[in-house]
A and B are shown apart, each in its own frame.
Chain A
């Protein structure tokens, strides 16, 4: 390779790194914005998200209503802003619950090995064979359809994925001599796992969590779309995609499109950022 080419490669690599950082910053910004809206949404909404006026049915953007109205004449922008809360909270809860259960199962299996590992593996295999949507249908049949029924169902459905991926990393880490050294130092198993084992698989935990957030957001929207999650008239992006169906058929796709776009943008931002975080640690 000529010196010139070397310089060029080096330059393009630097450009790529900088571009990576720009993407990471944009994704971070989008996520921060989404979180902010989720927290403040109802306060930011210029109108009551549930105030219907059939005179405004499918009216397009007008002054004070930049996105127009839905099939019941409710202000779309207000519904999007108010809907951010359940749309963000649901996946966050799924990530927290599934990661907590998955990490616990993976670390316990790796630490104890033997029959404990085998038993946990069997439990995870059984859970693995239930699709999340099926569990959600069961949960809504038992607890009645609600966001929380869906969250619990998805958390259970995702736990085996998390546990399986993390277990092999935890087993590798468990075999490292620094863990044995800490055991010989007389540290307790819980302390060793909390201080050494889990932090050393943390990059994988972060990567898993971001992937999971994306899946959970899409699945929760699908569950709400099926009428098993968040219940209308409450504003929620998944519910809005669903209730917007009627408008789509009548040539007014604004509601479904806007809510769907919010979901896609957040999911893509979270996944890209997760990917970047995972790469940087490696």
Chain B
């Protein structure tokens, strides 16, 4: 792998006496896409929050673009520089936008933080970002309340892109969306990556989604990485029994819903 744009070693997070993340190593190539899968509570969000600096690791190191960020940022300049390295898109499109601010306002705020661009230049850049994620002028001026979940998630992606980061962490970024909207957003993400070369950490519990977007995947169970490798290999030929279990619990082609309590042939469901 080329010099990784994001590298974490021995990441660990303990809440009280509960170990949420336990010795996670990961590396992401520039422009790469790393999937993280695992059941609920396996520590995926905690890893994401530690990478972007919202949660402080109990132990371990995180470096982005070769610069350490295991400790909280000192000073404004450092904080903003880190913001230009890694951004995040959250799961809930309804909570991730300030209800009082239009998408254009939200983007403008980011541009003001990170550039010296004048009003006209910022306006042009906002239109450009809107175009990149498929938001027209009307949607950019609307209140978040007037936008659909998919449109809001496009705004969140545009906002993450506005600071031109090297890495975007997407924590269950399509989980709250309808399947058809999911596909649109996934296409958008693939498109954006191809166009501007940003790298993704893509967190999901949906293996089908990870298969579409991630080059490499790591599987987490109870805070630990139990398997890692190229996505195809991890998902098609899992070594670890847990990964096999995870895969077996995903409805594939030919899968039929079984009503709970209905007589089944194969024992418990």
A, B co-complexed: yes
A interface residues with partner B (beta carbon < 8 Å): 176-178, 180-188, 195-196, 199-200
In the bound complex, CA of A185 to CA of B86 (Å): 9
Residue B110, interface by CB 8 Å: yes
Asked if A180 and B54 sit within 8 Å, CB to CB, the answer is yes
Do A181 and B79 touch across chains, with their CB atoms under 8 A apart? no
Find out whether the CB atom of A200 lies under 8 angstroms from the CB atom of B99.
yes
Instruction: Assess the B92–A177 pair: CB atoms within 8 A.
Output: yes
Q: Does B96 contact A (CB under 8 A)?
A: yes
Name which residue of chain B comes closest to A183, CB basis. B54
Task: Write the nearest CB–CB distance from A185 to chain B, whole angstroms.
Answer: 5
A187 lies within 8 A of B113 (CB):
yes
Given A177-B92, A180-B90, A196-B98, check contact A185 B82 (CB 8 Å): no
Query: Is B163's CB within 8 Å of the partner chain A?
Result: yes
A contact face: mostly helix, strand, loop, or mixed? helix
Contact indicator A184/B83 (Cβ below 8 Å) = yes
> Which B38-97 residues have a C-beta within 8 angstroms of A?
52-54, 76, 79-84, 86-88, 90-92, 95-97
Query: Nearest chain-A residue to B51 (Cβ)?
Result: A184
What B residues does A177 contact at CB under 8 A? 90-92, 95-96
- Do B109 and A178 touch across chains, with their CB atoms under 8 A apart? no
Q: Pick the contact of A186: B88, B95, B100, B113 (CB < 8 A).
A: B113
Q: Given contacts A184-B88, A185-B110, A186-B83, are A178 and B96 in contact (CB under 8 A)?
A: yes
A181 with B113: CB separation less than 8 A: no
3 closest A-B pairs (Cβ-Cβ)?
A186-B83, A186-B80, A177-B90
Query: Are B100 and A199 in touch, CB under 8 angstroms?
Result: yes
A186:B90 contact, CB within 8 angstroms = no
CB distance from B201 to the nearest CB of A (A): 13
B114 at the interface (CB under 8 A from A): yes
Residues of B within 8 A of A182 (CB): 109
7 residue pairs from A and B, CB less than 8 Å apart: A176-B95, A184-B52, A184-B86, A184-B87, A186-B163, A187-B113, A200-B99
Q: Across the A-B interface, how many residue pairs have beta carbons closer than 8 Å?
A: 58
Distance of A184 Cα from B82 Cα, bound (Å): 8
Which B residues are CB-close (under 8 A) to A188?
Answer: 76, 79
| Beta-carbon contact of A185 and B113 below 8 Å | yes
Asked if A181 and B114 make an inter-chain contact with CB atoms under 8 angstroms apart, the answer reads: no
Contact of A181 among B82, B84, B88 (CB under 8 A): B88
Q: How far is the CA of A178 from the CA of B88 in the complex (A)?
A: 11
Instruction: Tell me how far the C-beta of A234 lies from the nearest C-beta in chain B, rounded to whole angstroms.
Output: 44
Is residue B135 contacting chain A, with contact meaning CB distance below 8 A?
Answer: no
Beyond A180-B90, A195-B109, whether A186 also contacts B99 by CB under 8 A is no
* Chain A positions within 8 Å of B98 at CB level: 178, 196, 200
Check if A181 sits within 8 Å of B156, measured CB to CB.
yes
The chain B residue sitting closest to A179, CB to CB, is B98
Residue-by-residue, is B111-152 near A (CB-CB < 8 Å gives 1, otherwise 0)?
001100000000000000000000000000000000000000
B163–A185 touching, CB < 8 Å:
yes
- Chain A positions within 8 Å of B82 at CB level: 186
Q: Which residues of chain A have C-beta atoms less than 8 A from B166's C-beta?
A: none
A185 to B83, CA, bound (A): 5
Asked whether, in the complex, the Cβ of A181 is within 8 Å of the Cβ of B90, the reply is yes
Min distance, Cβ B97 to any Cβ of chain A, angstroms: 5
Complex Cα–Cα for A187 and B101 (A): 16
B-side contacts of A195, CB under 8 Å: 109
A107 to B98, CA, bound (A): 17
A186 and B77 CA atoms in complex are apart in Å by 9
Q: What separation, in Å, do the CA atoms of A178 and B156 have in the docked complex?
A: 9
Query: Roughly how many angstroms separate A221 CA and B208 CA in the complex, as a whole number?
Result: 70
Q: Considering residues A178, A180, A195, A199, which has the most beta carbons from chain B within 10 angstroms of its beta carbon? A: A178
17 additional A-B pairs beyond A182-B109, A186-B79, beta carbons within 8 Å, are A176-B95, A177-B92, A177-B96, A180-B90, A181-B90, A184-B54, A184-B86, A184-B87, A185-B109, A186-B76, A186-B80, A186-B83, A186-B84, A186-B114, A187-B113, A195-B109, A196-B100
